[in-house]
Amino acid sequence: MTKELKTSPGQMPALVLAYIGDAIYEVYVRQYLISRGLTKVSELHKRSVAFVNAATQAKIVHALEGKLAPDEVDVVKRGRNAKSGTVPKNMGVIDYRYGTAFESLFGYLYLCGKTKRLEEIFALAVRLVEGQECEKEFLNDGEGFDEGKAD
């Protein structure tokens, strides 16, 4: 579904970006798990929780440090500093803030149409969750994708 946005993604509030980013990231996770051949819903849920928790998302953001384009850094900072009013009881404030930063970035990239970059970042998430070491070639230090252009 493609609808023209009334506001550019870079001008949207970070929590709005996180709202859509949360949903899109969840779709990526579910699609990945199903593609791995998982068919039991209980196992799908158990495995997806490892991807979608704030602590994991915080690790992803930290792994991306120094690998983000300037517009991505701005979105991450805005997401991290956004005040949502609540913090779930089962997690720390810092992880929660970085989780929001990650979701903001994911939402921003999705709304900008940067599919290739989304896939690069999701591949990093998979490597972190699955316990695989991130290789240097994986992230392109901000090169290899067209900043500001849809993929």
- Catalytic positions are 22
Give the integer Cα–Cα distance in Å for 137 and 99. 25
CA nearest neighbour of 111 among 62, 72, 65, 55: 72
Q: Residue 74 contacts by C-beta under 8 Å, 6 or more apart in sequence?
A: 10
Q: Provide the H-helix boundaries in the chain.
A: 14-35, 41-52, 54-64, 70-81, 93-112, 115-129
| Residue 55: count of CB within 10 angstroms of its CB | 14
